[in-house]
Homo-oligomer: A and B are copies of this chain.
Amino acid sequence: MSAKVPVAIVGANGYSGEELCSILAGHPDVQVMAVTSRQHAGKPVGEVLPRLSSVREFSNLVFIESSMDLLLKCGAEFYFLALPHGLAAEYAVPLWRAGKRIVDLSADFRLRNAEVYREFYGEEHPAVELLPEAIYGLPELHREEIRTAKLVGSAGCYPTSVLLVLVPLLRAGLIDFRDIAVASASGVSGAGRKAEAALLFGECNESLRAYGLPKHRHLSEIEQELSLAASRQVTITFVPHLAPMTRGIHTTIFTRLADGVAEEKILSALESAYADEPFVRVSKNLPDTKNVSGTNFCDISARFDARTGRLILLSTEDNLVKGAAGQAVQNFNLMAGLGETAGLL
């Protein structure tokens, strides 16, 4: 590798943004040109994010204002947007027009259909004209398109944990697409670094609770990709829970085998699908969030309940890595022609 790829991180103060900085700090082929934060502009990155003080190039970085002018001048070719949905699009449009390549960690460019966005996010899509250009950023599903994409909407945390399990099975017609119910549990970092009383330690410790029922926003991208995989409309039930841990998503899926499918086919189909994938591990053993914490892996397993004929599918991932920042870097590696695992293994 000769020259490093110059990148900028827009909005590095949230949990995903901080994780992104942390991963990029250890990435051998990247040069971070700028890191923005409206709240902390002018402060050294290491003061706001003490984990990153004295870490390689971040030692000398100072947060800059998120002004488009500064961003365009910083010399980056790739821009990571770690911003709330809606706001991300405001940055994506001028960056796109300037010919920059963009990895967006928000939900703004994950949906193909602006009406679905309006239905689930309750507002008009802020940049409809870019939707046809955006690629859904889950490399295991759309690797080739991501390589050449100028704009990637990096897949969400819950969706990744659901799609990596279900898509190969739906593509192969092995499960009943009409009967899918999902119970997921996420660590609290999934809710972001927002100063809300409901996210206080005293509210989340020794607490487990469902939320966002029955129509969590992530359902929209989950169903979009499931429907693509099944070549027909797939509608599912999805129940997210908040669990008393910082990181990790555990997903449990209830479904049924398609007619005539033997239960043994399921695990072997998953193993085949992911045999060459660097970040998906299929195992007979039940997955555990702690085994993927701090990594870009998604662990998958399956069990058949012969008593009821139900198939139980399970997965775990780190919501901030494979569910956010790690996935963004994996997408970026593909876009930049780097090794897909660079900085991630």
Tell me the A residues contacting B by CB distance below 8 Å.
Answer: 15, 26, 47, 50-51, 53-56, 181, 183, 185, 187-189, 193-197, 199-211, 213-215, 235-237, 239, 241, 243-248, 250, 252, 254, 278, 281, 283, 285-295, 297, 299, 303-308, 310, 312, 314, 316, 345
Contact = CB atoms under 8 A, between A and B. Distances in A.
A275 to B, nearest CB: 11
A245 B208 contact: yes
A14 B310 CA distance: 35
Nearest to A52: B291
A125 to B, nearest CB: 21
A15 B197 CA distance: 12
Contact of A213 (B15, B250, B312): B312
Nearest to A254: B181
Contacts of A185: 185, 208, 241, 243
A290 B243 contact: no
A236 B181 CA distance: 14
Contact of A237 (B245, B295, B308): B308
Given A290-B206, A308-B237, A50 B243 contact: no
A200 B202 contact: no
A21 to B, nearest CB: 13
A287 to B, nearest CB: 7
A25 to B, nearest CB: 8
Nearest to A293: B206
A219 to B, nearest CB: 8
Contact of A196 (B53, B195, B207, B294): B195
B210 A286 contact: yes
Contacts of A187: 206
A45 B197 CA distance: 17
A278 to B, nearest CB: 8
17 contacts: A26-B345, A181-B310, A185-B208, A187-B206, A188-B202, A195-B197, A206-B247, A206-B289, A207-B245, A207-B248, A209-B286, A209-B289, A210-B312, A213-B286, A213-B305, A237-B305, A239-B254
Contact of A288 (B208, B248, B306): B208
A47 B55 CA distance: 33
Contact of A306 (B189, B214, B314): B214
Contact of A310 (B202, B207, B208, B237): B237
Nearest to A178: B308
B215 A307 contact: yes
Given A199-B201, A246-B201, A50 B211 contact: no
A209 B307 contact: no
Given A188-B200, A239-B252, 16 more contacts: A47-B285, A51-B292, A55-B345, A181-B254, A183-B239, A189-B202, A201-B244, A205-B290, A206-B206, A208-B289, A210-B250, A213-B286, A237-B254, A237-B307, A243-B243, A244-B244
Contacts of A236: 308
Given A241-B252, A254-B254, A202 B246 contact: yes
A329 to B, nearest CB: 15
A294 to B, nearest CB: 6
